[in-house]
């Protein structure tokens, strides 16, 4: 089989600025929304997940010294980002309506991530999959491991418990037409301790659609664990890709050297 | 000079293809009705989503006959991407049986994933097996690798139209070519170097 395991940087946008996240609570500013994408595209990332985690609808960068306009709407930012992105672009955050999905795909997103709206109105997944195709609809699941060792799905950016188990919820959204699952571990987010492998295995075993592991990567070995032990079709991470020079290249090199089936490390478009 | 007619019939990847062509500094005209087909030297039919809805939209916009005229009679170079390739077939079987453009004899069926223990959609980067040479693959280094995302695939009746395949449990026809008609199952607009090169190669035909 020659299908490659995908390595996916995640970019988190908060009120117009790219940020680092820890535990879905603390955020550190990293920089402007398009230069980071251009860099990741040049480093030949396999795909990009771009999540708008703004709590208010404010996208002013507050910087007039940068040589580009201060963008005010998320769609304008997306259009800018898409112009530099010759890799698949998955866009999420605040998607509540059919028109939200339409606007984002027209602005250049190849896939959209839905999370809270699917939890609130599960038939939203059916409606979107039917019109845009399953391949366009990625359902994101934010899971927190409780004191008893089991997991619970949280809505609204990790704030509201839903009483759902991530494996059951994944199976339900698959049956409703979701094309992929983006699986986040809230407690591993920003920890650098590696993926919650047991969580990944539980969800991978419950569905036949691809699962993207996310949350907790602190070294390249964690990506290998996500693929080999977690069974993920794709491995995603945010912070590590922003803080390491030539990060995507280094990640691919590490995985290639260990015999994993990923795209060969090269640089430059 | 190429003047690429990019058909806008509501396909999800329209903007992405437009961005890639702009990056390559190619002249593009967006085609939304029959009016401007005449001025295009090349035609690209993008596509994401389901076979039936793609054909429905082409019919609603009255583009089927125009496409037949431009591609089969005027012989303009034509590139179909993803579902834009699939609708070249005579028949699609996604959700319900739907007639396609019929430029390439064959059907579009679901990939047999379960039989092979594979996940669907087939999503990610896959290497091509080139079966015969094609101008689409000029100036590429190494094994061409492209980004795929689909659950259905084109099964041509004549194997002679197959230029390249990839492997996903079963053989997945990835590139077809018949005279001036080209179809790619993957997304060149999202396949970085190889993808941009393929679009450039198409534009100089």
CA distances from A260 to A253, A267, B169, B189 (A): 10, 19, 18, 26
> Residue A265 domain-assigned?
no
B3-203 is a CATH 3.40.50.880 domain: yes
> Residue A182 domain-assigned?
yes
> Residue A61 domain-assigned?
yes
Q: What is the pTM of this model?
A: 0.93
Distance of alpha carbon B42 from alpha carbon B109, whole angstroms: 28
CB atoms within 10 A of CB A32: 20
Tens digits of per-residue pLDDT, B47-66?
Answer: 877 898 899 999 999 999 99
SS3 content of chain A, % helix, strand, coil (to 5): 35, 25, 45
Tens digits of per-residue pLDDT, B171-187?
Answer: 999 999 999 999 999 99
Quote the domain boundaries for residue A82.
6-257
Determine contact: A133 vs chain B, CB below 8 A: yes
Domain count, chain A: 1
Determine contact: B10 vs chain A, CB below 8 A: no
CB contacts of B126 in chain A (<8 Å) are 2-4
H or E element that contains A20: strand A17-22
CATH of residue A185's domain is 3.20.20.70
> Residue A267 domain-assigned?
no
CB contacts of A47 in chain B (<8 Å) are 147
Determine contact: A135 vs chain B, CB below 8 A: yes
> Residue A161 domain-assigned?
yes
In the predicted model, residues of chain A with pLDDT beneath 70 are 1, 56-72, 268-269
H or E element that contains A76: helix A74-83
Kindly name the residue from B82, B94, B150, B166 that is annotated as catalytic. Answer: B82
- pLDDT at residue A130, as a whole number: 86
ipTM score of complex: 0.91
- Domain residue ranges in chain B: 3-203
Q: Is B82 a catalytic residue?
A: yes
| Strands A89-92 and A48-52, bridge-based pairing | parallel
> Residue A240 domain-assigned?
yes
For B16, name the nearest residue in chain A, comparing CA atoms only: A108
CB contacts of B193 in chain A (<8 Å) are 44, 268-269
CB contacts of A83 in chain B (<8 Å) are 19, 22-23
Kindly name the residue from B66, B94, B177, B189 that is annotated as catalytic. Answer: B189
> Residue A49 domain-assigned?
yes
Query: With bands split at pLDDT 50, 70 and 90, how would you rate the model's confidence at B102?
Result: very high
């Amino acid at each position: 089989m020659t299908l490659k395991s995908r390595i996916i940087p995640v970019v988190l946008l908060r009120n117009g600025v790219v940020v680092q996240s820890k535990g879905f609570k603390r955020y550190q500013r990293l920089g402007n929304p398009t230069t980071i994408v251009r860099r990741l595209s040049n480093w030949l990332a396999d795909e990009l997940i771009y999540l708008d985690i703004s709590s208010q609808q404010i996208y002013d960068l507050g910087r007039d010294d940068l040589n580009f306009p201060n963008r005010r709407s998320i769609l304008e930012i997306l259009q800018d980002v898409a112009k530099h992105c010759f890799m698949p672009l998955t866009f999420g955050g605040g998607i509540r309506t059919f028109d939200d999905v339409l606007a984002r795909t027209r602005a250049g997103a190849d896939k959209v991530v839905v999370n809270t709206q699917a939890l609130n109105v599960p038939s939203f997944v059916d409606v979107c999959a039917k019109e845009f195709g399953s391949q366009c609809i990625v359902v994101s699941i934010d899971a927190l491991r409780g004191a008893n060792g089991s997991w619970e799905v949280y809505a609204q950016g990790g704030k509201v418990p839903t009483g759902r188990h991530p494996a059951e919820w994944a199976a339900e959204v698959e049956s409703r037409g979701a094309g992929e699952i983006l699986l986040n571990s809230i407690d591993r987010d920003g920890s650098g301790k590696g993926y919650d492998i047991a969580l990944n295995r539980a969800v991978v075993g419950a569905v036949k659609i691809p699962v993207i592991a996310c949350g907790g990567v602190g070294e390249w070995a964690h990506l290998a664990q996500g693929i080999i032990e977690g069974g993920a079709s794709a491995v995603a991470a945010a912070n590590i890709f922003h803080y390491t020079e030539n990060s995507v290249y280094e990640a691919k090199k590490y995985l290639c050297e260990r015999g994993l089936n990923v795209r060969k490390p090269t640089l430059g478009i | 000079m190429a003047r690429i007619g990019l058909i806008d019939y509501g396909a999800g990847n329209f903007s992405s293809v437009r961005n890639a062509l702009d990056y390559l500094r190619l002249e593009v005209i967006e085609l939304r009705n029959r009016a401007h087909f005449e001025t295009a030297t090349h035609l690209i039919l993008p596509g994401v989503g389901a076979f039936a809805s793609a054909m429905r939209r082409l019919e609603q916009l009255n583009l089927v006959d125009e496409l037949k005229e431009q591609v089969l009679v005027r012989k303009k170079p034509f590139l179909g991407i993803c579902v834009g390739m699939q609708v070249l077939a005579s028949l699609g079987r996604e959700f319900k049986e739907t007639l396609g453009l019929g430029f390439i004899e064959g059907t579009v069926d679901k990939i047999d994933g379960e039989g092979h223990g594979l996940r669907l959609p087939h999503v990610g980067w896959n290497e091509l097996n080139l079966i015969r040479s094609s101008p689409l693959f000029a100036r590429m280094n190494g094994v061409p690798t492209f980004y795929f995302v689909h659950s259905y695939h084109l099964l041509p009746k004549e194997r002679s139209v197959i230029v390249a395949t990839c492997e996903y449990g079963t053989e997945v026809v990835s590139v077809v070519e018949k005279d001036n008609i080209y179809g790619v199952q993957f997304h060149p607009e999202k396949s970085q170097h190889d993808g941009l090169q393929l679009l450039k190669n198409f534009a100089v035909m």
